[in-house]
Amino acid sequence: MSFQVEDKDLQKSLNPVLKSGYFISKNSQDVSIPPEGIERAASSIYEIMKSKKYSSSNWKQHTLHPKVADERAIDWIFLVDLLNFSFWSEFDGEEGAQNSRFSVSFDGKQYTGYWSLCAAINRALEEGISITTPSFYSSESKLSDLDLLHVFRSSTQEKMPLLEERIKCIREAGKVLMEKFGGSFVNCIKESENSCVKLLNIIVESFSSFRDESTFNGERVVFYKRAQILIADIWACFEGEGFGKFDDIDEITMFADYRVPQALHYLGAISYSDSLLRTLESFTLLPSGSRLENEIRGCSIWAVELLRRVIKGKIERDDAHGSIPILNAIILDFFIWDFSKEHLEELGVPIHRTRSIYY
């Protein structure tokens, strides 16, 4: 990255995603980060996090997440974060959208969004399909495209978005794992020698579907949302030990998806121009790689970094380490994402609608 950064802490960062977020926030036209909004949002988040004693152990508490941190969990997390993108529905904003949108029936429940992906994979495992095993999903003879369509079948009229692209991601990643990493993502983790920055580079260099990059004001910017959340989910599942031990885990930034920006706007941490508000409220598509999409994602990354610094200050001032044992962009992001799901109906302005395999 050739652009200069003034922020002292930022100059020490080894993660190009944080520098991209900073650069975009300094050159953004339709998205801004109001200082008073950051203060207000930080206070609200801090109070709720303290009361909930939010930590990485929350990750395994989710019904559909693995309960045991072992190599099978690594295979599960790799496949989930390979496919962890674009669940929003073409029916959004229409009457009865909730009943028409893609959903997965599992264990007597209907799951939508990110949870629909987890449900489909858990359902396949229960049906005896080794969907998380790379030697299996890399081979069309062992697992045909038809089998994959069955795994991700919907219980409504809407199919899983970007299903063809997902199958391509599965085949490509399976092939790379078999040919370069002995058939398991565990070997990528071993190669990273407990550095998440090294692992981030291994992922984006080896698997093209994780290469979440763009151009903004003529500069190359990187978001690496799925690569970062893959590392974060492993760190959280293993609670920072064993395969989840990364000495530089605080280098990971917030994951620039479509749900956390919506919550950041609701909390006042980012604000939108009137014309962007009209675009979002009319459910207009934002092309992948567009300026507006980059501004929403980049400002969200930098806003979460500013929230992290303010909340860290509050924890130290109040000596609240007992209530919030670990605070980094991952914990903050997970908290905001979970918060957004609990308050989905109140979030007001709709998500931005970009169809992409990156988030």
Ligand X SMILES: Nc1nc2c(c(CN[C@H]3C=C[C@H](O)[C@@H]3O)cn2[C@@H]2O[C@H](COP(=O)(O)O)[C@@H](O)[C@H]2O)c(=O)[nH]1
- Told to check if 84 binds ligand X by CB under 6 A, we report yes
Give the CA-trace dihedral at 13, 186, 224, 160, to 10 degrees. -160
By C-beta, is 310 or 347 nearer to ligand X? 347
What residues between 257 and 276 interact with ligand X by CB under 6 A? 257-260
End-to-end CA gap in the chain: 22
Instruction: Please report, as a single letter, which amino acid is at residue 210.
Output: F
- Token code pair at residue 242: 């064993």
**Residues 257, 274, 333, 338: which is the catalytic one?**
257
By C-beta, is 58 or 194 nearer to ligand X? 58
By C-beta, is 203 or 260 nearer to ligand X? 260
What residues between 126 and 185 interact with ligand X by CB under 6 A? none
| H-state helical runs in 238-272 | 259-267
Binds ligand X (CB under 6 A): choice among 46, 78, 87, 181: 87
- What is residue 271's DSSP assignment? E
- Told to check if 221 binds ligand X by CB under 6 A, we report no
By C-beta, is 64 or 199 nearer to ligand X? 64
- Told to check if 210 binds ligand X by CB under 6 A, we report no
H/E stretch holding 281: helix 274-281
Binds ligand X (CB under 6 A): choice among 114, 223, 235, 339: 114
Which residues in the chain belong to E strands, given as ranges?
Answer: 31-32, 104-106, 109-111, 213-216, 219-222, 271-272
Contact by Cβ (8 Å): 216, 14: no
7 is catalytic: no
CB atoms within 10 A of CB 63: 12
Site string for ligand X, 53-72 (x = CB under 6 A): -----xx--x----------
Contact by Cβ (8 Å): 349, 281: yes
Give the CA-trace dihedral at 93, 166, 257, 355, to 10 degrees. -50
- Told to check if 19 binds ligand X by CB under 6 A, we report no
Which residue of the chain is nearest ligand X when measured via CB?
113
Q: What are phi and psi of 279, to 5 degrees?
A: -60, -45
Q: How far is the CB of 307 from ligand X (least distance, A)?
A: 13
- Told to check if 111 binds ligand X by CB under 6 A, we report no
- Told to check if 302 binds ligand X by CB under 6 A, we report no
By C-beta, is 88 or 266 nearer to ligand X? 88
Q: How far is the CB of 34 from ligand X (least distance, A)?
A: 21
- Token code pair at residue 156: 């409504």
Residues that bind ligand X (CB under 6 A): 58-59, 62, 84-85, 87-88, 113-114, 255, 257-260, 333-334, 337-338, 359
Catalytic residues: 257
